Structure 1
Amino acid sequence: MYPEVIIHNSVSLDHAVRGFDVDLGLHYGALLALEAGAVLAGSATAKSGIELFMDITQPEEESDRHRPEVRPDDPRPVCVIVDSRGVLKNLLHFYRNMEHTKDVIVLVSETTPEDYLDYLREREYPFIRRGAERVDLRGALRELGERFGITRVVSDSGPDLNDVLVREGIADTISLIVHPVVAGEGEKKLFGRVGGRVALELRKAVPMEQGTVHLVYAVKK
């Protein structure tokens, strides 16, 4: 079973994902409305989120070393992080403790350091190992659907992961909260190297608060 994949992000009018004040209420409200079974992020985005919004000196507790019990009727999504280099070693407990997700699953590759895999095993983090030097996202997402019954994945990440999802034809939909601001030069954009022209079909355009607009596009394949 291969899940539906949606790229979700908040952007400026010039498609920057940094350099302006994101309305987090609108961003996550629209994300939750997508009713995803999993929220996907890259390791760099996940780590920067910890550094920006959490106390990175907070130590891991004994309870953080064990996988929480997940009820079958729990509607919260799982958090899925692409981390083939082990960037989040000793930091994953921050995501395990997030109230809006019920579990953490890590996507790794054949070259992922063995000490990071030991860290995941010891703390009962489920992981999917696909790809040689980098994570084979298509294969990993297919396994995510087959092993965990995930039918819809929403990516909430930066341009590196967005590029892969579009370039490899994985993304089905792009959901954007467009803010009425021009971020200017030097800021990271929504996409960097998608590898060519990608045609989109507008499915929804909804005005929101403070001049923002929610745009939803289907990716033509």
Structure 2
Amino acid sequence: MLPKIIIHNVVSLNGSLTGFDPNIEKYYEIARTYKHDAVLVGSNTAKAGLEMFYDKITPEKKSDFKKPILKSDDKTPLWIIPDSRGILQNKLHVIRQSGYCKDIIVLISKKTSKSYINYLKERNYDYILTGEDHVNYKQALEIIYDKYNVKAIRMDSGGTLNSILLSQGLVDKISILLSPVIVSKSNNYLIKKLNKASEKGKIDLNLIKNKIVDKNHVLLIYKVIK
């Protein structure tokens, strides 16, 4: 079995994720309405967030080497982070301490360095190894569903990861908070490139909700037709 996955992003009118000031408060207000057990966060997105909100990465403490004690009634989502290149090495403790997740599951591949795997083991981070050069997302998600009882996932990621999961038929819904702005230059769009998306070279969607939000923003929710 696979978890149900919804992509949720705030974008400009021309589909950019960057180059403007998004309404973060409204974005997360909407995100909280989606029932989800975990958030799938791209490693580049996580790294960019750390650089945006922290002047420097604080040193690790002894407690950072221990797995958090999880309470049965804790509704805080898990974070799932694909990071086969290990770009979050020596940074994951900041995310774990943030309070936004109850713990982290890292997705890696056979190309992941031994030093990063040792780093994860020493600090008691759960990790799932699938795929050769890159993470095998379908296999990893099946494991996450079975092992962690994760039935619904919200994506908080950039265009690359969005495109990969869409291309592989793993996304069920797309939620877009459309901002009243057009960005002239951007290298990060909601969707970058669809690889072998379908025989027709496209992915069909079904609009299931449209709503004007705070007069200037529009919320669009689509179901992915598979």
1:1-150 alignment runs, 5 A limit: 1-150=1-150
- The answer to which of 184-193 and 152-161 deviates more is 184-193
User: What SS is found at the alignment partner of 1:124?
Assistant: coil
Does the CA contact (< 8 Å) of 1:19 and 1:187 recur in 2? Answer: no
User: What SS is found at the alignment partner of 1:81?
Assistant: strand
Quote the offset at 1:58 in angstroms.
Answer: 1.4
Aligned counterparts of 1:58 and 1:155: Cα–Cα separation in 2: 27
Give deviations 1:115-167, integer Å, cap 9, x for gaps: 10110011000011111110001111111111100000111000110010111
Give deviations 1:75-126, integer Å, cap 9, x for gaps: 1100110000111000001110121211111000111101101100110000
Does the CA contact (< 8 Å) of 1:84 and 1:108 recur in 2? Answer: yes
Does the CA contact (< 8 Å) of 1:173 and 1:219 recur in 2? Answer: yes
Match of 1:182 in 2: 182
Aligned counterparts of 2:187 and 2:88: Cα–Cα separation in 1: 24
Quote the offset at 1:16 in angstroms.
Answer: 0.3
Gaps of 5+ in 1: none
Match of 1:151 in 2: 151
Does the CA contact (< 8 Å) of 2:57 and 2:91 recur in 1? Answer: no
Aligned counterparts of 2:31 and 2:112: Cα–Cα separation in 1: 30
1:217 to 198, 214, 222: 222
Gaps of 5+ in 2: 196-200
User: What SS is found at the alignment partner of 1:33?
Assistant: coil
Aligned counterparts of 1:117 and 1:174: Cα–Cα separation in 2: 33
Match of 2:206 in 1: 201
TM-score normalised by the chain length of structure 2: 0.95
Match of 2:198 in 1: none
Aligned counterparts of 1:157 and 1:4: Cα–Cα separation in 2: 16
Does the CA contact (< 8 Å) of 1:12 and 1:183 recur in 2? Answer: yes
After TM superposition, where is structure 1 displaced by more than 2 Å over at least 4 residues in a row?
none
Does the CA contact (< 8 Å) of 1:83 and 1:108 recur in 2? Answer: yes
CA RMSD of aligned residues (A): 1.1
Give the length in aligned residue pairs: 221
Quote the offset at 1:210 in angstroms.
Answer: 4.8
Quote the offset at 1:28 in angstroms.
Answer: 1.2
Aligned counterparts of 1:145 and 1:35: Cα–Cα separation in 2: 15
- The answer to which of 48-57 and 170-179 deviates more is 48-57
Identity %: 38
